[in-house]
Chain A
Amino acid sequence: MLGQVVASGLAMGAIYALVALGYAFVWRTMNIVNFAAGEFLTFAAFIFVATFVNRLGLPFYLAAIFACVAMASLGAAFSRIVFARLQKERTIVAIIATVGFGLFLKEMARIIYGPQPLLNTGPFGFETINVGGISVTKQQLLVFAVVIVVMVLQYLVLRYTMIGKVMRAVAQDRETAQLMGIPVNAVLAGTFAYASVLSAIGGILLAPMFFVTTELGTLVGLKGFVAMIIGGFGSIPGAIIGGLILGLGENLAAFSISAPYKDAIAFVLLLVFLLVRPKGLIPEASADRA
């Protein structure tokens, strides 16, 4: 039983890690917190299930790719249209704009797709598989596989490709990057699009595990934020580790204390970290190289 609790905790944690990474990327390149991240996740789950799977009848993986592309475009457009105009304002204005856009997305999901929860069992249904004596759902394994692939790809891109280096340069010093002839606004939009894709992947992976409702991403978005704070504000490896710790911690605590307290436990964990280690496990400055 404990094995299952750990496995499902880590699977949930991997999703928090995706969302937390999105926060970290946006924070580092734009110095804002994108509070619409949870709603990007919700919206992605809806277009994935309702539009691409149910309406167009696309197979799971193809639908997933289309949903990611759609969310990337939405993220890039939001960044270009809204942030480009808010550059000269104080950052709090841009942050409030993300809150507003989040509400807009949530309402749009409700208006377009209706209030009924959607169910999508994914490619595996509720099949489980025995891994070393622990019964794990195939969906959980898919979550691990996807998140690991995303992390590895992201590392390789940031480290070894021009686009990755340019993203890092813009994050470190926008003005100087501009002096190198780098189209800074396009890079910012690209970064925001990537963060949107991370949220979208979270939504696509969650869809077969929960009912898709307009509330799907609200709590996950907040917990992703908590995960980033635990890991270290803006730190890339911190976001991953913070997500896993949070997912594992809340599941273990729910198991050993009481399940209804699960969400409360996540935020107690946040308070504990803020009191004991406010800079997080891996503060940004020392964690920049990953």
Chain B
Amino acid sequence: MLSVPENSPAGAGEFILKLSNVDSYYGKAQILFDLSLEVKEREVVAVIGANGAGKSTTLNVIIGRVKPAAGSVTLDGESIGGDGIQAIVKKGITCVPQRRRIFPTMTVRENLEVGSYIRRHDKAGTRRVMEEVLSLFPVLAKKANSLGGLLSGGEQQMLAIGRGLMARPRVLLLDEPSMGLSPKLTTEMFEDIRRIADMGRTVLIVEQNAYAALSVADQGYVLENGRVALSGDADDLIENDYVRQTYLGA
């Protein structure tokens, strides 16, 4: 069922990440307008939209790089709106950056280890997630001692996601994960993302490739000019005429 954001059902408690009526500015330019967005535990939520629609700014607000000028951001009901990046990562949100940003002259294993920085004192937990990541992406296990910069684009994207998972986030944010990947790799990567959610994690994807993102997502949001234009079940959005014409090229 599709709904405008104002009417979206807010089942308290089950949403772990919530943005309510967020306004945000870069300098004097307002980028986000009254933006509300909710992410349920163990769901994949896709935020789609064109270039400049405010997708990356939405992520930057969540991760604490940009402070919201109005509205609130909550994780498990606790406000994180004014926190810095480090505090937010510690509380359980990790962002996998656009263009992967692998540390090129560190090995695959070192990249993953650095990802666990915030939980470094929990050695057993780190070992467990490392095994989990390496079994999720067997190619990373095979190339554990190769330099990150020598991996292919698809492998680097796996490494970037794996590195994000190493922080054991409650919510994993993915910024344009399909960027620079072939259509085949994009499909495979979104299947991996689905598997990650099925393993019990919560994922928020910001993506220009609307079809790929919506096909693995549970919920979707369409951003236009910094506002939520549409939101609802991802399956419904894929079928929606407006979405099909504007974003799916149908």
Of A166, A176, A288, chain B has the most CB atoms within 10 Å of the CB of: A176
Known A162-B113, A176-B97: A168·B103 in contact at CB below 8 Å: yes
Q: B174 at the A/B interface (Cβ < 8 Å)?
A: no
Q: Which residue of A lies closest to B107 (CB)?
A: A289
Taking CB atoms and an 8 Å cut-off, the chain B residues in 94-108 that contact chain A are: 94-95, 97, 101, 103-106
A70 — which chain B residues lie within 8 A by C-beta?
A: none
Asked whether B115 is an interface residue with its Cβ less than 8 Å from the other chain, the reply is yes
A183 CB–B CB distance under 8 Å: yes
B167: Cβ under 8 A from any A Cβ: yes
Which of A165, A168, A173, A181 contacts B85 (CB under 8 A)? A181
Contact-size category for A: 10 to 19
Interface size class of B (residues with CB under 8 A): 20 to 34
Given B85, B110, B115, B120, which contacts A178 in the complex, CB threshold below 8 Å? Answer: B85
The DSSP consensus for interface residues of chain A is helix
Q: Is B120 a contact partner of A179 (Cβ separation < 8 A)? A: no
Interface bits B19-57 vs A (CB < 8 Å: 1, else 0):
000000000000000000000000000000000000000
Bound Cα distance from A183 to B113, whole angstroms: 16
Judged by a CB distance under 8 angstroms, whether B86 is at the interface is yes
Out of B97, B114, B118, which one reaches A165, CB within 8 Å?
A: B114
Residues from chain A with a CB closer than 8 A to the CB of B114 are 165-166, 169, 177, 180, 182
CB distance from A126 to the nearest CB of B (A): 45
When C-beta atoms are compared, the residue in chain B nearest to A284 turns out to be B105
Closest approach, in angstroms, between the C-beta of A290 and any C-beta of chain B?
A: 10
Q: Which residues of B contact A166 (CB under 8 A)?
A: 114, 117
Q: Is B90 on the interface with A (CB-CB < 8 A)? A: yes
Q: Report how far A289 CA is from B103 CA in the complex, Å.
A: 12
- Counting CB contacts under 8 A, is A172 at the interface? yes
A182 in contact with B117 (CB, 8 Å): yes
Residues of A close to B94: CB separation below 8 A: 179-181
A180-B117 contact in complex given A165-B110, A168-B106, A169-B106, C-beta closer than 8 Å: yes
B170 within 8 A of A: no
Chain A interfacial positions (CB closer than 8 Å to B): 162, 165-166, 168-169, 172-173, 175-183, 288-289
Pull 27 A–B residue pairs with CB atoms less than 8 Å apart, ordered by A: A162-B113, A162-B117, A165-B110, A166-B117, A168-B103, A168-B106, A172-B103, A172-B104, A172-B105, A172-B106, A175-B97, A176-B101, A176-B103, A177-B114, A178-B85, A179-B85, A179-B89, A180-B114, A180-B117, A180-B118, A181-B86, A181-B89, A181-B117, A181-B118, A182-B86, A182-B117, A289-B147
User: Closest A-chain residue to B147, C-beta based?
Assistant: A289
Most chain A beta-carbon contacts within 10 A, residue among B63, B89, B103, B104: B103
Return the chain B residue nearest A169 by Cβ.
B114
Whether A179 pairs with B113 at a CB distance below 8 angstroms is no
Please indicate the chain A residues that have their CB under 8 angstroms from the CB of B97 in the complex.
175-176, 179
| B163 lies within 8 A of chain A by Cβ | yes
Residues in B whose Cβ lies below 8 Å from that of A162: 113, 117, 120
Question: In whole Å, how far is B85's beta carbon from the nearest beta carbon of chain A?
Answer: 5
Provide the residues of chain B in CB contact with A181, threshold 8 Å.
85-86, 89-90, 94, 117-118, 167
CA distance A289 to B90 in the complex (A): 30
